[in-house]
Amino acid sequence: MKHLIVIAFLATAGVLGAQSAISLAYFGETITHPGLKVGISFPLHQWEQRKMLRKGQEKVLDKRLDLSPQLGFYYHQDYQTGLFVLPELSYIRQNAKGNYTALGIGAGYMHTRVPRVYDFDTSGEIEQIGAGYHYFISNYFATFGKDLSVNKGIPLSIYAKPQLMHALPNAGKGIWYFALELGFSVKMSE
Amino acid sequence: MLLASILAFLLCNCSKETFEVDTASKTFFHVKNGDYLIPVLLRGNTASKKIILYVQGGPAGNTLDFATVDYPEWKNTLEKDYAIAYYEQRGTGNRQGNFDFGQNILQTYIEDLHKVAAFLKKAYGAEIIMMGHSFGGGLTLRYMIEYGQSGIPQKYIALNAPVTTDVSTASLRWQFRRAFLFNTAKLEISRNRKVERWNEVLKWLEKTPVIEKIPGDAPYQLMQQWNEYIEELVYPNYAEKNVKVRDYLKAIFFSPYNPIPAYLRKDFEDKGIGSLILQEEEDYVLINRLSKIDQQAVLLITGRYDDICVPEELSYVFEKIPSPEKQIKIIDEAGHDSFLHQAAEFNQILKSFIQ
């Protein structure tokens, strides 16, 4: 399974060719349960929108659609550790000051491990067993960030990304998670 | 490299290991029963070799947050003398994986309970005392009936556990509740508390020899009147504890909970599990099976002002249990959370029974 995840991640990245930005983020499941998330994002489509303001000034917005294969994990003590690969699609809207917001969705795979699970073996002795679940996951997020290359010339963006993640199949209608990502991305090419 | 290491760690097929007793004052693990992983928090004095297995009320109330925020305030009292195991009933709390509730949910619940009890006994070489509150107390009595002498615990405690139900044993339930209101009125008048209002209650009871469903547009008006008296004159004095915002934050952000499945419980409601549990209680008619509790050591506790498990009902239950090892305690100035309303007396009663 571990090979499958790595291959899927690298294949997604490879197919898309030249890198645009690499991101690294703290991934907090319910904010406080720590994890990491890394990703590569590629602009699929970019365009510019110009708006005339009442004062006669022109407002320029850069818009783009990004595809970002992401790999991450989180550790929630006594509950589960989750490892996921999650390609995401984002619609980004950036103003002239470099401030941007984005809305997006993702869909991928997650494997969880449940800590310290015990059962009786056939002879009635206690044994510790490995336990975990395979999930199809989707996530729904908003991103609030700043592109520091616009005013400061640093090829870096910082962002906060609250999100809801849904995992299936699970008893009932799946499991929802709330997570907060705090990270930065480095531009690799223009 | 780091990620590769994490991948290897997370996805390896761990080999089976034997259990090693964790003697820390707080330990957390899961016990597998069929398709379900039961979360268990064991806290307190494990060296005592006595583990109280706490069975939560509800039906289906969460348990781990109850322990995390120390709602019953046992961390610095009972847990100094004994260990307490708080386990999450199937379908509550985090509920991971694809699991089934079985043909009969309450039967599955007591099978889970049996597995946890067996695990604790084997793992810690401890004496198990099963203690259920409210719905959990009913589950404890059901466990005693179903498992009889093959039950794992050596002692049982049913706290504030009502045994009658709203339909199949409704007439008995309302007979006990009427008696409760009458006895409470007499007691309160003797204690010179809200005498005028309690005299009005006595007059209403005089005119209402039986509380039951009546014909007409408002068939439940007698029950509603009883509830109104209780909500005005009894419950406010013996209410549930207010949980502080700090405790909520602790449970949400620093406990084993994923708060979305733990607190929204939408799938629980969508599947109608709560309603099915109530229906199974109706069908089981526990009060007619109490004669099967003929050997086990059992302690029944309720508060004198508990309007859910009224003392009049518990006294009836006590009479119906044939076991020579039975005990009953009615704690004065206590309601449904008798362990909080008169904590010192409650703890003393428990210690005397467990020793």
Chain B partners of A131 at a C-beta cutoff of 8 Å? 30, 32, 37
Q: In the numeric block, which tokens belong to residue B347?
A: 């703890």
Q: Are residues B136 and B159 in the same domain?
A: yes
From residue B181, alpha-carbon distances to A86, B166, B190, B200, B205 in Å are 61, 17, 14, 12, 8
Predicted local confidence at residue B87, as pLDDT:
95
Q: Helix, strand, or coil here: A146?
A: strand
Nearest CA in chain A to B100: A171
Q: Are residues B284 and B319 in the same domain?
A: yes
Q: Residue A84, exposed/middle/buried by CB under 10 A (0-12, 13-18, 19+)? A: buried
Nearest CA in chain A to B22: A116
Give the model confidence (pLDDT) of B305-317 as tens digits: 999 999 999 999 9
Chain A partners of B7 at a C-beta cutoff of 8 Å? 2, 5-6, 83
Q: Do B16 and A1 touch (CB under 8 A)?
A: no
Nearest to A83 among B11, B32, B37 (CB): B11
**Distance between CA atoms of residues B334 and B214, nearest Å:** 32
B355: CB partners within 8 A, 6+ apart? none
CB atoms inside a 10 Å sphere around CB B127: 18
Note which residues in 167-226 of chain B have CB less than 8 A from chain A. none
Q: Do A126 and B37 touch (CB under 8 A)?
A: no
* Predicted confidence (pLDDT) at residue B44 exceeds the cutoff of 70: yes
Confidence of residue B5 (pLDDT cuts 50, 70, 90): very low
* Predicted confidence (pLDDT) at residue B177 exceeds the cutoff of 90: yes
Please check whether residue B55 is in contact with residue B130, taking contact to mean a CB–CB distance below 8 angstroms.
Answer: yes
Q: Are residues B129 and B190 in the same domain?
A: no
What integer is the mean pLDDT of B297-326?
97
**B316/A contact by beta carbon, under 8 A:** no
Predicted local confidence at residue B264, as pLDDT:
77
Amino acid, res. B200: E
The DSSP-derived string for B1-46 is -HHHHHHHHHHS-PPPEE-----SSEEEEEEEETTEEEEEEEEE-G
Q: Between B244 and B168, whose confidence is greater?
A: B244
Please check whether residue A74 is in contact with residue A81, taking contact to mean a CB–CB distance below 8 angstroms.
Answer: yes
Q: Are residues B161 and B207 in the same domain?
A: no
* Predicted confidence (pLDDT) at residue B92 exceeds the cutoff of 90: no
Note which residues in 36-95 of chain B have CB less than 8 A from chain A. 37, 39, 41, 91, 94-95
Q: Which residue has the tokens 């719905």?
A: B135
Query: Which of B13, B32, B42, B120 is best to mutate for the A interface (most A CBs within 10 A)?
Result: B32
**Distance between CA atoms of residues B204 and B287, nearest Å:** 29
Chain B partners of A34 at a C-beta cutoff of 8 Å? none
Q: Are residues B67 and B101 in the same domain?
A: yes
The DSSP-derived string for B289-347 is SGGG--SSEEEEEEETT-SSS-HHHHHHHHHH---TTEEEEEETT--S-HHHHTHHHHH
Q: Do A30 and B96 touch (CB under 8 A)?
A: no
Q: Helix, strand, or coil here: B212?
A: coil
What integer is the mean pLDDT of B314-327?
96
Q: Assign residue B323 the CATH number of its domain.
A: 3.40.50.1820
Give the model confidence (pLDDT) of B245-281 as tens digits: 998 898 889 888 888 888 876 666 666 888 888 899 9
Show the low-confidence residues of chain A (pLDDT under 70).
1-19, 189-190
The pTM of this model reads 0.89
Confidence of residue B8 (pLDDT cuts 50, 70, 90): very low
Q: Helix, strand, or coil here: B68?
A: helix
Q: Are residues B223 and B273 in the same domain?
A: no
- Indicate the residue among B237, B252, B274 that finishes a domain: B237
- Indicate the residue among B237, B260, B284 that finishes a domain: B237
Backbone angles phi, psi at B116, to 5 degrees: -65, -45
- Indicate the residue among B237, B266, B281 that finishes a domain: B237
Chain B partners of A171 at a C-beta cutoff of 8 Å? 91, 95, 97-100, 267
* Predicted confidence (pLDDT) at residue B63 exceeds the cutoff of 50: yes
Please check whether residue B24 is in contact with residue B44, taking contact to mean a CB–CB distance below 8 angstroms.
Answer: no
Q: Are residues B109 and B161 in the same domain?
A: yes
What is the average pLDDT score of chain B?
A: 90
Chain A partners of B39 at a C-beta cutoff of 8 Å? 78
Nearest CA in chain B to A118: B31
The DSSP-derived string for B75-123 is TTTHHHHSEEEEEPPTTSTT--SS----SSHHHHHHHHHHHHHHHHHHH
Q: Do A78 and B256 touch (CB under 8 A)?
A: yes
Q: Do B270 and A172 touch (CB under 8 A)?
A: yes
Q: Are residues B151 and B271 in the same domain?
A: yes
Confidence of residue B2 (pLDDT cuts 50, 70, 90): very low
Say how many domains are in chain B: 2
* Predicted confidence (pLDDT) at residue B201 exceeds the cutoff of 80: yes
Chain A partners of B100 at a C-beta cutoff of 8 Å? 171
Q: Are residues B230 and B301 in the same domain?
A: no
What's the ipTM?
0.87
Domain residues for the domain of B253 are 2-15+23-166+242-354
- Of A47-56, B86-95, B280-289, which range is least confident? A47-56
Q: State how far residue B132 is from chain A, nearest Cα, in angstroms.
A: 24
**B1/A contact by beta carbon, under 8 A:** no
Q: Do B29 and A71 touch (CB under 8 A)?
A: no
Q: State how far residue A1 is from chain B, nearest Cα, in angstroms.
A: 7
Chain A partners of B43 at a C-beta cutoff of 8 Å? none
Nearest CA in chain B to A178: B260
**B256/A contact by beta carbon, under 8 A:** yes
B255: CB partners within 8 A, 6+ apart? B64, B65, B68
* Predicted confidence (pLDDT) at residue B1 exceeds the cutoff of 50: no
**B8/A contact by beta carbon, under 8 A:** yes
The reply to whether omega before A169 is within 30° of 0 (cis) is: yes
Helix (H) or strand (E) run with residue A121 in it: none
Q: Residue B320, exposed/middle/buried by CB under 10 A (0-12, 13-18, 19+)? A: middle
Q: Are residues B146 and B253 in the same domain?
A: yes
* Predicted confidence (pLDDT) at residue B14 exceeds the cutoff of 90: no
Q: Are residues B155 and B285 in the same domain?
A: yes
Q: Are residues B229 and B345 in the same domain?
A: no
Helix (H) or strand (E) run with residue A169 in it: none
Predicted local confidence at residue B6, as pLDDT:
54
B/e letters for B280-315, b = 16+ CB within 10 Å, e = fewer, are bbeebebbebbebbeebbbbbbbbbbbbbbbbbbbb
